[in-house]
A and B are shown apart, each in its own frame.
Chain A
Amino acid sequence: MNGNKEDTNKKDTNEEIVKLQKVYFSYADFVVLEDIDLNIYARDLLALIGPNGGGKTTLLKIIMGLLKPSSGTVVLFNKVPNLTRSLIGYLPQINLIDISFPISVFDTVLMGRYKGMGIKYTREDLEAVKNSLNVTGVFSLKDRHISMLSGGQLQRVLIARALVRNPKLLLLDEPMSGVDPEMQASFYELILELNKRMAMVFVTHDVSAISVYFDRVACLNKRLYYHGPKEGSLGKLEETYGCPVEILAHGIPHRVLKEH
């Protein structure tokens, strides 16, 4: 992976698109996020790991403006989140999708082109759907019902739905769940290819992939343990680890990161 050299470039040349400062979030009395500072740059590929219930999805929702932080500031593309939704692509967790729902692959992706009440889909929208289905390699499945797809194919369809809005920032919530092991490599290739055009936040439990594919790792367990670019950060990673990562990857994640 030649990520190291690129990393330096990225920091210098790319604009900052997400800036979270001192963000807190709680549901009633239950604190979910505490003192989160996070910066994402235009070509970042950030892996977000952390135990279940650590607040990963909540953090994504705050970035999208679906949830308001209890305190702290969120700035996206130099604006408040609500005004920037058209710049964000989102892939929800696959287990939230009801695959028995009566909708075809094409219509699922077309949903992503929604621009407002009463605004009809144009030929341009249909073309955009075609394109994203081609980019993610599932165009041939366009007329299928979504229940007639494998887990990996469904993920590709949902990524196409996120891409069809031409986002500058793509938030992927556990995109690898449901993807067959033998399909994972090609899936990561797709992600890296897309990363040339947009920043990505990639929530994952697949810690072994982190060392191979990702520039930056952030671990979220109420607080964010942000590890920055890989170089030089691994020592710090060890010191600062307040994060019980072992919960999330069969007990070996620390070693995976250390061996690197």
Chain B
Amino acid sequence: MEVFQYEFMRNALLAALLVNIACGIVGTYVVIKKIVFISGGISHAAFGGIGLGYFLGLNPIIIAIPFSIASALSIGIISKKTKIKEDTAIGIVWALGMALGILFINLTPGYAPDLFSYLFGNILTVPVSDLYIMLALDLFIIIIASVFHREFSSISFDEEYSAVIGIPVRALYFVLLCLVALSVVILIRIVGVILVIALLTIPASICRQFTYNIKKLVVASIITGVVVTISGLILSYFLNISSGAAIIILMSAVFLLSFFIRSILYRYKKLRSRKVN
């Protein structure tokens, strides 16, 4: 297709790949450990880092890295070490991060030019420098996830038993939250802080209906994510709509479709096993 001859389109394709590697790995754990809303909180709080980046005149994506790690750890520490409930901690950090973002931007003289793209993302305007940041974060996520994949699976399945067999449950939970924070940073350019949670959770939710092997789930989520992201991108190009929105609407549609396919498959399987018996 001729659309891919443009450099911004090639960058967009690379971004789609890089983003979905992080999403496939971390999203799988987000879904199976049921920390979707913690991830939502972290992604919105990351906006504070974007604002701080503007204020300091630095690359907002770089500043968002420590900022979202700090918010991930705050949610984790507040909910695990104090009596404050987890959903309360999420709500506070979520809103505080966004408020700080707005404050920093208010304090920044002049007009914040591409602020909107950090809120809703734009895969077509990802600069090459951000692709390198995404690549580095991806590599980090791959290394950590492959070192700790057994521990992450174990604490996601059964925290208590994991503690009994000697896994440092809480420390690894915090590590996992940090990985979520890094994925959020990778995703901000593509879909923006508001839509991050969809890309992080939908591919893994689609795929978990068809496999109960976590490694396969990660790989399938990456592939699904890449295919749907690129399809959404093409769709947005031809329909001339916002790419972030197109990707996520398409992804939700695929989720719905997969749900129906799963139900039909399940019924068929049941029917067949009844015949065998």
A64 in contact (CB, < 8 A):
yes
Q: Can you report 26 A-B residue pairs in the complex whose CB atoms are below 8 A from each other? A: A85-B165, A85-B166, A88-B164, A90-B161, A92-B158, A92-B161, A96-B158, A97-B157, A97-B158, A101-B32, A101-B157, A102-B211, A102-B214, A103-B157, A103-B212, A108-B157, A111-B153, A111-B154, A111-B157, A112-B165, A114-B150, A114-B154, A114-B166, A117-B148, A145-B212, A165-B165
> Which of A28, A98, A104, A165 gathers the greatest number of chain B CB atoms within 10 Å?
A98
* B-chain residues with CB within 8 Å of residue A117 when the two chains form the complex: 147-148, 151
Q: How many residues of A contact B (CB 8 A)?
A: 26
* B-chain residues with CB within 8 Å of residue A104 when the two chains form the complex: 212-213
B87 in contact (CB, < 8 A):
no
> Which of A66, A96, A102 gathers the greatest number of chain B CB atoms within 10 Å?
A102
CA distance A24 to B41 in the complex (A): 38
A118 in contact (CB, < 8 A):
yes
Interface pair B157/A96, CB less than 8 Å apart = no
In the complex, given contacts A101-B156, A102-B212, what are 18 additional A-B residue pairs having Cβ atoms less than 8 angstroms apart?
A86-B166, A88-B164, A92-B158, A92-B161, A101-B32, A102-B211, A102-B217, A103-B157, A103-B214, A108-B157, A111-B150, A111-B153, A111-B154, A111-B158, A112-B165, A114-B166, A114-B167, A116-B166
* A-chain residues with CB within 8 Å of residue B34 when the two chains form the complex: 98
* B-chain residues with CB within 8 Å of residue A86 when the two chains form the complex: 166
Q: How many residues of B contact A (CB 8 A)?
A: 25
Residue ID in chain A nearest B165 by CB atoms: A114
Interface pair B212/A111, CB less than 8 Å apart = no
A250 CB, nearest partner CB in chain B, Å: 29
CA distance A170 to B233 in the complex (A): 56
Q: Which 8 A-B pairs have the closest CB atoms?
A: A102-B212, A145-B212, A114-B165, A90-B164, A101-B157, A92-B160, A66-B163, A111-B154
Interface pair B156/A111, CB less than 8 Å apart = no
CA distance A77 to B156 in the complex (A): 30
* B-chain residues with CB within 8 Å of residue A85 when the two chains form the complex: 164-166
Residue ID in chain B nearest A61 by CB atoms: B160
B62 CB, nearest partner CB in chain A, Å: 30
CA distance A102 to B211 in the complex (A): 7
Q: Are A98 and B157 also in contact (CB < 8 A) when A64-B164, A85-B165, A114-B166 are?
A: yes
CA distance A104 to B157 in the complex (A): 12
CA distance A28 to B83 in the complex (A): 10
Interface pair B32/A96, CB less than 8 Å apart = no
* B-chain residues with CB within 8 Å of residue A101 when the two chains form the complex: 32, 156-157
CA distance A102 to B212 in the complex (A): 4
B117 CB, nearest partner CB in chain A, Å: 35
Interface pair A103/B153, CB less than 8 Å apart = yes
* A-chain residues with CB within 8 Å of residue B211 when the two chains form the complex: 102
B129 CB, nearest partner CB in chain A, Å: 35
* A-chain residues with CB within 8 Å of residue B150 when the two chains form the complex: 111, 114
CA distance A97 to B164 in the complex (A): 15
A87 CB, nearest partner CB in chain B, Å: 11
Interface pair A102/B158, CB less than 8 Å apart = no
Interface pair B157/A66, CB less than 8 Å apart = no
Residue ID in chain B nearest A116 by CB atoms: B166
* B-chain residues with CB within 8 Å of residue A66 when the two chains form the complex: 160, 163-164
